[in-house]
Each structure stands twice: as C-alpha cells, then as structure tokens.
Amino acid sequence: MIKNTSCAVYIATCDRYSDLWPGFFHCWNRYWPDCPFEVYLGANEKSWPGADVTTLSSPPDSAWSEQVARQLETLSYEYVLCILDDFYLRARVCTSRIMDLLQYLKAADGAMLRLLPRPPPQIRSRSSPSVGECLPNTPYRICTQAAIWRRRDLISLLQDKESIWEFEANGQARADATGKRFFSVYNAALPYQGMIFHHVVEKGEWIPSEYWWCRRRGIPCERSKRKLLSFKDFSILLLAEFLNWFLTIIAGGHAHSLRVRIKAVIPQIALRTYQRMRKYSPVKRPTLPDSH
C-alpha cells in the first residue's frame, strides 16, 4: 500500500503505559488494516517490535508537552493524526471518511479537526454537514481526543512543563489567541467510543467494564501490571459519564458550559440547605408532671 505523504499517525504514550500497547495495536490492526498513514509511537526507551510502527524516543524525565513537541519536531509531515494509547478501536474504520476529513481540514485552512465529538462543535458546516466549527471561548476547543492536527500548529500550542491535563486547560486561551480555526465531527470518525467509556484506563488504573470487554474479545490486557479502579471510583466515573451524556443530549456543543454552571450552583445550594438545617430547632414538647 502506498502511504499518504502529507499525514502520519502519532500515538502519544510513554514507557509507563507500555502494557497497553499490545491491546492498542491488536485493535488497530483488526479494525484499520488499510490505514493509509505511516504510524509513529511516541515513547521513551521502549519500542514496539512491529515493523510497520516507528518509535520516536524522548527522555522520560521531561514533561508530557516537552516529549510530544520534541517527537513531533522529528517528523516532516504537514499533518498528524494524534491519538492516545488507551483509545482502543472498537469497530472498522472508514478510511475514505478519514481522507475526506483530512481534505476538509486542508481546504478550511484549519489547525485541528477532532475525530470524536467530545464535546460536539457549535456551528455546522454548510459544505460538509458532518463537520462543525468549535468557537473561541468554548471549553475543550482543543483537547487530546483523537484529532487531525496541522503539525506546526500543535507544536506552537505546546508549552514546556505542562502535563496533558494542563495542556487541555491552559491551551484554550493560546488557541483563541492564534485566530486559527478548530473543527470537530458530529459523529465519531475514529470509533473508539464504547457503550459507556471512550478510554480503557482512568487515573492509571483499568476501568473494570473496559478490562472485561478486552478479556471477552481476546484483546491482550495485563492485569498484573495495572490494577482495576475501586468500586467507589468506578461508580463516580460512571455517574460522571452519564451526566455528560445527558447534558450533551440536551445542550449539544454547549454541554460543558452548562456543566460548569451546574457545578458552580450546586455548592451554593448545598451551603444554603446546610445553613437552614443549622438554624432549624425543633419545638420541645412540655413534659407532663409525674402522676405519682
């Protein structure tokens, strides 16, 4: 197969998550055997033995943003399809759709096109109804969900000493300041969204439902190197995902803004309720005199 020369796949990972690589590539090869892009694995000292994957190494003691920037600088492609190591594909990838999205991003002169609507965009495109634009000042306008990036634009947004979570939080203002355009699909183009979760690991631990999903389908998963989330943490995560799904249904691309408002209101309601309860003093009934 002749590989595309304008775009490559870049898998952001590190050696601490190397136990996830067998499962990731098992799903990758099963569900995207005709991937038209060269595949690069961003790691530290370890590498993947597959001949069709090139490992990009960087020191393990540097921050996430520094590792990604250093690895992307070694590439010469104009675009990169970035994906994380715990996003396991769940269904066959439509290669023609990915190529159409790449062409859309080029034609729109955009910086990024997210391949999973988490969150959805705000304005639907007239030329391609399956794509929408993510407006400035909207939460998660940039994030680390799988996306096609113009490589230079992504590098310019990375700042030294930032973790992956700090990049998502702090990169919003930097993205808005560039004046670049950011897009997202309305329906997943890279199918790694499961029945509930889109990833298999949370806080460095296996999500129980995703671990058993891997086991049932014969996907390699190492329990000895990574424990399962506790029942409490799994329950909280499950509730958060349900609320996110519900808010997305009723608010679409404005779901995150609504979620932020709800979080701001709940503590105030709880405080007022607590204060009312503290002021409440039940009326004491008079005691009856002893009849003896």
Q: Is the pLDDT of residue 170 over 70?
A: yes
Residue with tokens 């997202």, as numbered in its chain: 184
Residues 24 and 167 grouped into a single domain:
yes
Q: What is the mean pLDDT of the chain?
A: 87
Residues 163 and 36 grouped into a single domain:
yes
Whether the CB-CB separation of 183 and 105 falls below 8 Å is answered with yes
pLDDT digits (tens, 9 = 90+) for 189-233: 999 988 789 999 998 999 999 999 999 999 999 888 899 999 998
The pLDDT, as a whole number, for residue 156 is 96
Residues paired with residue 41 on neighbouring β-strands, in sequence order: 11, 55
Residues 74 and 164 grouped into a single domain:
yes
19: in domain: yes
pLDDT digits (tens, 9 = 90+) for 108-164: 999 999 999 988 899 999 899 999 999 998 888 999 999 999 999 999 999 999 999
pLDDT digits (tens, 9 = 90+) for 41-100: 999 999 998 889 999 999 888 899 999 999 999 999 999 999 999 999 999 999 999 999
58: in domain: yes
DSSP letter at 86 equals T
Residues 20 and 156 grouped into a single domain:
yes
Residues 15 and 145 grouped into a single domain:
yes
Residue 280, C-beta contacts closer than 8 angstroms, at least 6 positions apart: none
The pLDDT, as a whole number, for residue 61 is 86
Residue 91, C-beta contacts closer than 8 angstroms, at least 6 positions apart: 31, 191
Report d(CA 98, CA 185) in Å as an integer. 11
Q: What CATH number is associated with residue 110?
A: 3.90.550.10
43: in domain: yes
What's the structural domain count of the chain? Answer: 2
- Domain-terminating residue out of 185, 203, 225: 185
The pLDDT, as a whole number, for residue 123 is 93
16: in domain: yes
Report d(CA 264, CA 247) in Å as an integer. 15
Structural domain boundaries, residue 171: 7-185
Q: How far is CA 141 from the centre of its chain?
A: 12
Whether the CB-CB separation of 110 and 181 falls below 8 Å is answered with yes
197: in domain: no
Residues 65 and 170 grouped into a single domain:
yes
Give the DSSP H or E segment for 130: none
The model's pTM is 0.83
Angle CA 67–69–70, to nearest 5? 65
Whether the CB-CB separation of 12 and 47 falls below 8 Å is answered with no
Report d(CA 229, CA 226) in Å as an integer. 9
E strands, 17-130, are: 38-43, 53-57, 79-84, 112-114, 123-124
Residues 169 and 239 grouped into a single domain:
no
The pLDDT, as a whole number, for residue 273 is 64
Angle CA 74–75–79, to nearest 5? 145
165: in domain: yes
288: in domain: no
Q: Is the pLDDT of residue 289 over 90?
A: no
219: in domain: no
The pLDDT, as a whole number, for residue 258 is 59
- Domain-terminating residue out of 152, 167, 185: 185
Report d(CA 44, CA 59) in Å as an integer. 6
Q: Coil, helix or strand for 8?
A: strand
Whether the CB-CB separation of 184 and 104 falls below 8 Å is answered with no
